[in-house]
Amino acid sequence: MPARPEQIVDQHAARWGLRRPGEMKLASELVLDAERSRIPKDRYLSRAFLERENERLWTRVWQVACREESIPAPGDHLPYRIADQELLVVRQDDGSLRAFYNACRHRGNLIRPEAGTSEELRCPYHGWCWSLDGSLRRIPDRHLTRGVDDETYALQEVACESFAGYVFVNPDPGAPPLREFLGGVADRIAAFRMEEQRLTSWHSLELACNWKVGIEAFLEAYHVPGIHPQLVNILDETNTVYERLGVHHHMWIPYGLPSTRVDGATDREIYEDWLREHFRERHLPGAAGSATWEPEFDEKGAIVGERSARDYLIERQQAEGRVRGHDYERLSREQLIDVDHYMFFPNFVILAKADDSFILRTRPHATDPDRCIFDVMRLEPSDARGPLPVPAVQLVESTPESIVENIGEVIAQDFANIQRVQRGLHARSLEHVTLTANEVRVRWLNDDIDRWLDGD
């Protein structure tokens, strides 16, 4: 009798020595019933739904505005746009952070349209001016106004807190503390010490898809064989596991082994494909790295000896880390090679890895459900061999071509894909999308969005 799909997945895991984090579940343990597997397509297309999100979600949820290192010194500020709202995060004289509506109390102009540094927040239109803490400092010809008192005309503040170097804002005056909102996801990512990492690139572009279509493509690995065929020898999407962490969630994708869908990948192919992707996606020169050894392959491409290609790749990562001066002691063997995907509800995904992390964020367009703003950032650990990478302060307005050039082919494939999805969703014949359990996080995300839209 042929093995059942679940058995194949388990046998593959055993053969490759995968150790699944105990609390995480395979897709086969998370199968959705028919009703829960369907998501009405209106959520991705309708103006009314977008407006409800803008009204009920973005005004009340903690969301990542930027990284701490982008605004390190007093007076540094960075605008953050969410839907039709404009906010401004400002580093204070005492090193703390505050965020305000980026709207002049005079006639509404954006006070600071760009990231920058200044000793005070002066609106360029007529010169009304606030201190960094938002208190009103100066109004030209103030004697020609009535009823403009300092207290009422301070900048309007929104909650602002940081965690692991990420600066969060929340426009809701009744917002719970950030740590309470993050709950278990904060504990899970602690080992990566992201507060010590530095933002080394930040690309931002507008894409022709809904913000949820955009982020949902990073909540599952089911699409890998279809959209990223170059990865099938080195990533087992069928052994991916999932866990919910309050409104956030976590997905763990094993790397350095082939998908169970692939027949007959040799050790050499696995090893070489991994190195190629690893170095290409990081734009590092060659695959020479710092390891001084290579596994020995026989004429069929099998590694000589007991250890697997995955074992060698893990050791290679350890060796690389030692040369670069990174402290990998706190990370498990799995964390050195696999990809830990974390989602901060509702729109922020971290692909946490030992040697760098990718960050993906989608934000809604102010009025058009068919468009979103997509940010791609990279974090790198400080390197003991040299100074920290220069923090990326400036957003780079990117094109799909510059994304391939600067960030890599995998993301470019995703970008092309999600824009095709948005076009397809308009089909009059289509009422809903249908999820497999591999895509359970898409269900979770939409459940929590509903909670925000329908709740108090």
Residue 88 found at the interface with ligand FES (CB under 6 A):
no
Which does residue 125 touch among ligand FES, Fe ion, none (CB within 5 to 8 A, set by kind)?
ligand FES
Residue 78: name its binding partner from ligand FES, Fe ion, none (Cβ under 5 to 8 Å by kind): none
The partner residues of 361 in beta bridges, in order of sequence, read 348, 375
Closest to ligand FES by CB, 104 or 235: 104
User: Are the beta carbons of 340 and 24 closer than 8 angstroms?
Assistant: no
Say which entry of ligand FES, Fe ion, none residue 20 contacts (CB below 5 to 8 A, set by partner kind).
Answer: none
Of 166 and 358, the one with the shorter C-beta distance to Fe ion is 358
Which residue's CB is nearer to ligand FES, number 6 or number 114? 114
Nearer to ligand FES, 104 or 217 (CB): 104
Nearest to 164 by CA among 190, 203, 137, 185: 190
CB-nearer residue toward ligand FES: 122 or 193: 122
Binding mask 100-139 for ligand FES (x = CB under 6 A): ----x-xx-x-------------x-xxxx-----------
CB of 104 to ligand FES, least distance (A): 3
| Phi then psi dihedrals of residue 447, to 5 deg | -60, -45
Q: Where does residue 81 rank: exposed (0-12), middle (13-18), buried (19+ CB within 10 A)?
A: middle
Contacting residues for 55 by C-beta, under 8 A, at least 6 apart: none
127 binds, among ligand FES, Fe ion, none (CB under 5 to 8 A by kind): ligand FES
Q: Which residues bind Fe ion (CB under 5 A)?
A: 414
Q: List CB contacts of 150: < 8 A, sequence separation 6 or more.
A: 135, 136
Minimum separation from the CB atom of position 121 to ligand FES (A): 10
> CB 110 → ligand FES: shortest distance, Å?
9
Q: Write each residue from 47 to 86 as x if it is in contact with ligand FES (CB under 6 A), else as -, in one continuous string.
A: ----------------------------------------
Q: What are phi and psi of 139, to 5 degrees?
A: -135, 120
**Contact by Cβ (8 Å): 175, 168:** no
Tell me, by CB under 6 A, how many residues bind ligand FES: 9
Q: DSSP per residue over 128-170, as a string?
A: -EE-TTS-EEE-TTGGG-SS--TTTTSPPEEEEEEETTEEEEE
C-beta closer to ligand FES: residue 107 or 426: 107
Quick check: bond before 346 cis, omega within 30? yes
What amino acid is encoded at 383 in this protein? D
- Which among ligand FES, Fe ion, none contacts residue 414 (Cβ within 5 to 8 A by kind)? Fe ion
| Residue 126 binding partner per list ligand FES, Fe ion, none, with a CB distance cut-off of 5 to 8 Å that depends on partner kind | ligand FES
Using the minimum distance from each CB to ligand FES, give the nearer residue, 109 or 200. Answer: 109
Q: What is the DSSP string of 340-362?
A: EEEEETTTEEEEE-SS-EEEEEE
- CB nearer ligand FES, residue 67 or residue 105: 105
Do 444 and 246 contact (CB within 8 A), yes or no?
Answer: no
Contact positions toward ligand FES, by CB under 6 A? 104, 106-107, 109, 123, 125-128
